[in-house]
Structure 1
Amino acid sequence: MLKKIIPDPFLLVLIGTVLLASFLPARGTFAVAVGWLSTVTVVLLFFFHGAKLAREQIVAGITHWRLHLAILGTTFVMFPIVGVIAMHALAGIVPAPLVLGILFLACLPSTVQSAIAFVAMAHGNVGAAVASASASQMLGVILTPLLMGLLAGTRGGSSGLEGMGEVALQILVPFIVGHLMRPWLKDWIARNKQLVSLTDRSTIVIAVYSAFSAAVLGGIWHQLPPAALAMLFVINAILLVIGLAFSWGLGGLFGFAREDRIALLFCGTKKSLVQGVPMARVLFPGGEAGVIVLPLMIFHQMQLMACAFIARGFANRDDAALRNRA
């Protein structure tokens, strides 16, 4: 009974990370070091995932077109529809830049590193998650500005080739290299599962600290009155619940296996802060961009917390099932 009451340890780590970033955000040279550390952990994450996956798992992941369509449809169809509904429902109630920020959030692509880390933690289909999340990031360079232009009349440029190159260098290349080195690494990885799993969790913790440090230094706690900030938390929570319920239900409707439903759950509902902030600077005037990205900053933290809790729940159930069979 007591075990059910005690919060998940990893969730407590994330809460502590948010508090640390709020009071001691990364600045100057330290912020640069945190950025480099984040890049290194991302590269290691995908290197190890490539080395862990057997060839048949990767082929199955890439060729699972129904799952990919479900993930991309959730990201670029369902969320924008909900965003348009929210835009009309909140007009006159929430400040206009925040309403535009909610629509912008809904049109963004999925995250990559944290989505795949959660899929791995929850024992989902990592091969399919790598393929879908990477495709979402690259398609988002085109689709997000296009959707904002169609739905909100937003115009702006795009640094598409640079964004695609970054995705390739940090994600696809390490994944491919790790997989090519699998014959030499698979035994070592099997002996050091705890060390490899630590890479997944450290990537998420560093991402939370880095993202929230930037938000705090950007004045996130001073740009909104408490009432508007509370309303924004509620709106983001509703949007997140809708996304999680829709993606999990869609997986069941399509008859996906549990591993595929987990990939859809985490890849379909995540929204990229890393890609969203640079896009906002291009799509919106400088004065508006800071407020427009606030919904994304808050949603990003909420999705990390919620998904960490859900992923650990899946993992704990699997561990309990293994102990019962032993």
Structure 2
Amino acid sequence: MIALLGKIDPMVRLITAAILLATVLPVEGRAHEIAQMVSNAAVFVLFLLYGLRLSRREVLAGLGNHRLLLPLVAFVFGVMTVAGWGLWQASATVLPPMLALGFLYLGVLPSTVQSATAYSSLAGGNVASSVVAAALINILGVFISAPLFALLAGNAGGEFHGDQLVKVVTMLLLPFVAGQVLQGFVRGWIMEHKQLITRMDRSSIAIAVYVAFSGAVEQGIWTKVDAVGWAGVLLGSAVLMVLGYGGAWLLGGLLRLSHGDRIAMLFAGAQKSIAMGAPLATVLFPSEMAGIVILPLIVYHLVQMIVAAPMATRLRGDREPTH
């Protein structure tokens, strides 16, 4: 049993543990306010670390690959957003309103950085392009995801007030920029302690999921979302995933990208980042809404971790010469 658990992606284990803990021991009342402050601090540290780790040289070197980057940006924030909007509209009559809205929120989010790069490498893709592409998508996500969601959601997502924009800037953009500025002073230490930094990353995300899901548990998510609701979330996530992976792969072929860049587009285009989504949800939504809105994201993230590894292995196998 322990050996089996060891094979599961650590992030999947942490997210599952955070959900289970929030279910049996949610933070409530004054404790929730304190937990929210801890979560906000963790989010700030998370984006500071992103800024410290992402080499400016890598970014500048990869920005010239316009044949990959421009279509990828259009795919992530255009095609996937439209698909998320469509799923929201299609499921609005079947699912609870905030749960259905979660598909739109899922659609506007950027892709992962670490796992997209890792699976691109496993599949034999262009790792340098993958790093820059995923990183660029996440940087743009700080500017694009929240306003785009607010624009499309309208009154259904609540009004996007100026104070929310300030929170996005101070908790996401400001620490990232600070990390870039301080990079020359501490990046060496950061790179020498990769394991510690990875644990801090994962812990920050798990805290955000725990606090958000605690709010959903307090609002009765397990009674509000019935079997039909869970089936709808699973089906909608599966549809978006097929569109994501299938569309990204097809687009890479139509653009006649190299095989390595096509793989980079596949994973950077289809995967969705809970590292951005969970913290951003705690900034944009009241705690009682955040846990429900991110439910499709949690399901999508868990499933993408399951399907990405065999997909990457298959892609590498297809490129290996036969004897």
| TM-score where L is the length of structure 2 | 0.70
1:216-267 deviation line (CA, Å, top 9, x unaligned): 111111224x332243233233234224423542564342265554332335
Matched pairs, number: 297
Amino acid at match of 2:242: I
Amino acid at match of 2:103: L
Amino acid at match of 1:178: G
**Which SS does the other structure have where 1:105 is aligned?**
helix
1:198-228 deviation line (CA, Å, top 9, x unaligned): 122112211221221111111111224x332
Whole-angstrom CA distance in 1 between matches of 2:295 and 2:81: 16
Matches within 5 A, 1:231-250: 231-246=231-246, 248-250=248-250
Whole-angstrom CA distance in 2 between matches of 1:12 and 1:259: 26
Instruction: Determine the structure 1 residue equivalent to 2:149.
Output: 144
Matches within 5 A, 1:107-126: 110-111=108-109, 115-116=112-113, 118-119=115-116, 125-126=130-131
* Structure 1 residue 35 corresponds to structure 2 residue 36: yes
Instruction: Determine the structure 2 residue equivalent to 1:133.
Output: 138
Instruction: Determine the structure 2 residue equivalent to 1:321.
Output: none
Whole-angstrom CA distance in 2 between matches of 1:22 and 1:29: 18
Whole-angstrom CA distance in 1 between matches of 2:242 and 2:92: 20
Equivalent of residue 74 in structure 1, options 65, 73, 76: 76
Amino acid at match of 1:265: A
CA RMSD in angstroms, aligned pairs only: 4.2
- Cα displacement (A) at 1:140: 4.1
1:138-192 deviation line (CA, Å, top 9, x unaligned): 334443354356xxx9797432x43333222222222222222222213212321
Instruction: Determine the structure 2 residue equivalent to 1:59.
Output: 60
Whole-angstrom CA distance in 2 between matches of 1:162 and 1:74: 27
Whole-angstrom CA distance in 2 between matches of 1:311 and 1:196: 24
Instruction: Determine the structure 2 residue equivalent to 1:177.
Output: 178
Amino acid at match of 1:54: S
Maintained 8 Å contact 1:52/1:182: yes
Maintained 8 Å contact 1:141/1:163: no
Whole-angstrom CA distance in 1 between matches of 2:74 and 2:274: 10
Maintained 8 Å contact 2:83/2:107: no
Instruction: Determine the structure 1 residue equivalent to 2:104.
Output: 106
Residues 35 and 187 from structure 1, CA distance in 2 versus in 1: closer, same or farther, beyond 3 angstroms?
same
Maintained 8 Å contact 2:278/2:294: yes
Amino acid at match of 1:74: V
Whole-angstrom CA distance in 2 between matches of 1:260 and 1:60: 17
**Which SS does the other structure have where 1:222 is aligned?**
helix
Amino acid at match of 2:168: V
Whole-angstrom CA distance in 2 between matches of 1:279 and 1:170: 11
**Which SS does the other structure have where 1:43 is aligned?**
helix
1:61-102 deviation line (CA, Å, top 9, x unaligned): 6665552552443344344246437745x687x36x55x953
Residues 42 and 61 from structure 1, CA distance in 2 versus in 1: closer, same or farther, beyond 3 angstroms?
farther
Amino acid at match of 1:37: V
Maintained 8 Å contact 2:22/2:214: yes
* Structure 1 residue runs without a partner (length 5+): 282-288, 318-326
Instruction: Determine the structure 2 residue equivalent to 1:46.
Output: 47
Residues 103 and 202 from structure 1, CA distance in 2 versus in 1: closer, same or farther, beyond 3 angstroms?
closer
Whole-angstrom CA distance in 2 between matches of 1:37 and 1:45: 12
Amino acid at match of 1:246: G
| TM-score where L is the length of structure 1 | 0.69
Residues 182 and 61 from structure 1, CA distance in 2 versus in 1: closer, same or farther, beyond 3 angstroms?
same
Whole-angstrom CA distance in 1 between matches of 2:166 and 2:311: 33
| Aligned-residue identity in percent | 22
Whole-angstrom CA distance in 1 between matches of 2:61 and 2:168: 22
Equivalent of residue 304 in structure 1, options 297, 301, 304: 301
**Which SS does the other structure have where 2:271 is aligned?**
helix
1:270-316 deviation line (CA, Å, top 9, x unaligned): 994666688788xxxxxxx97xx887342022123234556788999
Amino acid at match of 2:176: F
Maintained 8 Å contact 1:116/1:267: no
Maintained 8 Å contact 2:277/2:294: no
Whole-angstrom CA distance in 1 between matches of 2:53 and 2:279: 26
Whole-angstrom CA distance in 1 between matches of 2:273 and 2:41: 25
Whole-angstrom CA distance in 2 between matches of 1:34 and 1:316: 40
Maintained 8 Å contact 1:138/1:164: no
Maintained 8 Å contact 1:75/1:108: no
